[in-house]
Amino acid sequence: MVKDVAPKAGLPADFLWGFATAAYQIEGGATADGRRPSIWDTFCKIPGKIADGSSGDVACDSYHRMAQDIDLLNKTGAKAYRFSISWSRVIPLGGRKDTVNKAGLQHYVKFVDDLLEAGIVPMVTLFHWDLPDELYKRYGGFMNKDEFVADFANYARVMFEALPKVKHWITFNEPFCSAVLGYSVGQFAPGHTSNRNKSPIGDSSTEPWIVGHNILIAHATAVKIYREEFKPNNGGEIGITLNGDWVEPWDPNDGQDRIACERKLEFSICWFGDPVYFGKYPDSMVKQLGDRLPKFTEEESALVKGSNDFYGMNHYCANYIRHRNGPADPNDFAGNVDILLEDKSGKSIGPITQSPWLRPHAPGFRKLMKWLSDRYGRPKIYVTENGTSVKGENDLPKEEILEDEFRVEYFRTYVQAMAEAVAEDGCDCRGYMAWSLMDNFEWAEGYETRFGVTYVDYENGQHRYPKKSALELKNIFDQYIGKV
């Protein structure tokens, strides 16, 4: 008889954990000290695009509350904080010939200094979706490879120069979302899509692939600059953050659904991961997309290959995958599959949350980390986002919101799954940033969906109240850290 042995679980002694946010979601200060609009400021003004008609104009007002946010981090016991830079705060018009805004830049210099003084390690994302609007208007933003790559490279260099104390850099957050949600579905800025009920512009069959390609070149160009001009002196590390959810077959007895699962992972994760580790796109994508998928020149392939010092992993949930028969729709971006929340027998992958796409399924976290680790040769991994919304949270009285047992349970099971991936499967995971430090502007869902471990009272001066989950994470990590 085989005895059931509980899996080993543990994390290294120097494991870095903390919380993540993004500039447009928390900063507010939309016009403060010379900031100019990003594509999200503009997108929010279009009626119907944001669920509650809101915007990031004020958000959590973090631009004016740096000290409060650092206090909050200290209360949680966090060792690290991942935040992003608002490009149009630093270079209001965005381009390489446009002026740098000293006040905007100085804000981040001071914030990094203050974090370090508080003993918190900064992890900085250069780009979390808020492209300077001027660059979109000037030349089409991501769609113009030469201009976009040159302007991003210039912006990255400005930041590397200004923040030598930052040792962990992320170039792009979730390029999949910029490409697919911004240029295929049209749900995110700038809202391009072939669906003419939603937008007068866009071609979902071609634009997302061009956007993804150009972001990869911009990422790799910034990494080259960092490695050549800054890393020798500053000694930091740099990588890209990719989103990816786990997959289970809709019908486990159907071989085609099992193959479809692999294809779905390739279309969502390896679209970016394979170029970064292997210098080429996955065969499944080349096969389905043909000439619509841009080709890497030899030079580009060499530039992109090997452009990660670590793998930034954003992970939230899992889905059931059902294969589709017949040729793929030209606007398909998922690998000719249906993405479902219930399997063939009607079983849900996990409990419902406030986010229609998010149903927690912690075992998938361990499985995906192992899958990535195997495919990419056991890279160093930082989990750069993981977290959940809670069904109906926004409608509860404050006292009940603060008792967010559902979120606590999410973190318990997900951190356990990660600690098993490390101790049992040999994954090299070195850090974890929970999404998010506080409730914030949840993009097209506005403020109705809360992801924070801290309740933000938007009606009464953005006051912050830590929820139970804000204080529980330390206890959870204490169980695992140093046990491997």
Q: Hey, which residues are catalytic here?
A: 174, 385
Nearer Cβ to ligand PNW, position 133 or 385? 385
Tell whether residue 27 is a contact of ligand PNW (CB under 6 A): no
Minimal distance, residue 28 CB to ligand PNW, in Å: 16
Token pair for 8: 């080993």
Size of site (CB under 6 A) for ligand PNW: 12
Residue 430 CA to its chain's centroid (Å): 17
| d(C-alpha 475, C-alpha 483), whole Å | 14
182 versus 282: smaller Cβ distance to ligand PNW: 182
Q: Helix (H, G, I), strand (E, B), or coil: what is residue 240?
A: strand
Closer residue to ligand PNW, CB minimum distance, 357 or 426:
357
Q: Where do we find the tokens 């170029």?
A: 275
Among 98, 207, 257, 385, interactor with ligand PNW by CB under 6 A:
385
Which of 89, 84, 60 lies closest to 72, judged by CA? 60
CA 253 from centre of chain: 33
Q: Which is nearer to ligand PNW, 20 or 303 (CB)?
A: 20
Nearer to ligand PNW, 72 or 180 (CB): 180
Q: Is 170 in the site for ligand PNW (CB under 6 A)?
A: no
What is the rounded distance in angstroms from the CA atom of residue 452 to the CA atom of residue 21?
9
Contacting ligand PNW within 236-255 (CB under 6 A)? 243
DSSP state of 294: P
Q: Is 30 exposed, middle or buried (0-12, 13-18, 19+ CB in 10 A)?
A: buried
Q: Which of residues 314-333 bind ligand PNW (CB under 6 A)?
A: 314
State how far the Cα of 290 lies from the Cα of 5, in Å rounded to an integer: 48
Which residue, judged by CB position, is nearest to ligand PNW in the bound state?
Answer: 357
Name which of 119, 98, 110 is nearest 163 in CA terms: 110
Q: Can you tell me which of 357, 398, 403, 463 binds ligand PNW, judged by CB under 6 A? A: 357
User: What x-and-dash track marks residues 280-299 binding ligand PNW by CB under 6 A?
Assistant: --------------------
Structure-block tokens of residue 276: 């970064």
> Cβ–Cβ contacts within 10 Å for residue 13, how many?
9
* Least Å from the CB of residue 25 to ligand PNW: 6
Stretch that binds ligand PNW, among 172-180, 246-254, 271-279, 463-471 (CB under 6 A): 172-180
Q: Please report the DSSP string for 331-392 in residue order.
A: T--SSSEEEESB-TT--BSS---SSTT----THHHHHHHHHHHHHTTS-EEEEEE-----TT
Stretch in the footprint of ligand PNW (CB under 6 A) among 169-177, 391-399, 416-424, 466-474: 169-177
CA–CA separation, 375 vs 122, rounded Å?
29
- x-or-dash string of contact with ligand PNW, 211-230, rule CB under 6 A: --------------------
User: In this chain, which of 41, 174, 207, 300 binds ligand PNW, going by CB under 6 A?
Assistant: 174
Residue 173 interacts with ligand PNW (CB under 6 A)? yes
Is the CB of 132 or the CB of 446 nearer to ligand PNW? 446
Kindly list the distances between the CA atom of residue 254 and the CA atoms of 248, 322, 361, 440, 450, in Å, as whole numbers in the listed order: 11, 9, 22, 41, 37
Instruction: Output 240 or 422, the one with its CB closest to ligand PNW.
Output: 240
Distance CA 442, CA 432 (A): 21
Q: Shortest approach of ligand PNW to residue 314 CB, angstroms?
A: 6
Tokens of 102: 């000293």
Residues present in the chain in total:
484
132 DSSP assignment: B
Q: Exactly one of 83, 451, 455, 480 binds ligand PNW (CB under 6 A); which one?
A: 451
| Least Cβ distance, residue 51 to ligand PNW (angstroms) | 13
Question: Does the protein bind ligand PNW through residue 22 (CB under 6 A)?
Answer: yes
Which residue in the block uniquely carries the two structure tokens 């499985």? 367
Burial of 454 (0-12, 13-18, 19+ CB in 10 A): buried
- Going by the DSSP 8-state scheme, the letter that residue 403 receives in this structure is -
Least distance in Å: CB of 288 to ligand PNW?
Answer: 21
Name the segment binding ligand PNW (CB under 6 A); options: 101-109, 119-127, 170-178, 333-341. Answer: 170-178
> Which of the ranges 53-61, 173-181, 254-262, 465-473 carries the binding residues for ligand PNW, by CB under 6 A?
173-181
Residue with smaller CB distance to ligand PNW, 25 or 336 = 25
Interaction of residue 46 with ligand PNW, rule CB under 6 A: no
Both tokens of 375, joined, read 């495919």
Q: Which is nearer to ligand PNW, 25 or 88 (CB)?
A: 25
Q: Which residues bind ligand PNW (CB under 6 A)?
A: 22, 25, 173-174, 177, 243, 314, 357, 385, 435, 442, 451
